Amino acid sequence: MGRLARSARRALRPVRDRGGSRGGSFHVYPVTLSELELERYYEGFSNATLWPLYHDVIAPPIYHRIWWESYRAVEPALRRAGRLHQRAGATVWVQDYQLQ
């Protein structure tokens, strides 16, 4: 099982193994995004737009087109990273944690 995930903005310790770190039954591979991409893709669209919609509109969703454009621009980088490391014949499940 592989997983693409966003880490904290400042890593607690550097990732030394660029070949992927084993974590039980899954591998972790770094995908580098700029601070602006993280802000718009994750803090903006994922957290301020999607999160409220999928959690019974606890807070009103906020939408900015630039956040959506960033979300669409970042997704191909995540897909490429997944394809780069998947095994032949593997089933890959990509899920934004917001869409549980």
The pTM is what?
A: 0.63
Distance, in Å, from the CA atom of 19 to the CA atom of 29, rounded to the nearest integer, reads 7
- Between 61-65, 66-70, 86-90, 95-99, the lowest mean confidence (pLDDT) is in 95-99
Spatial distance between the Cα atoms of 86 and 37, rounded to a whole number of angstroms: 24
Query: Which range has the worst mean pLDDT, 11-25, 55-69, 83-97?
Result: 11-25
Tell me how far the alpha carbon of residue 66 is from its chain's centroid.
17
Whether the Cβ atoms of residue 8 and residue 40 lie closer than 8 Å to each other: no
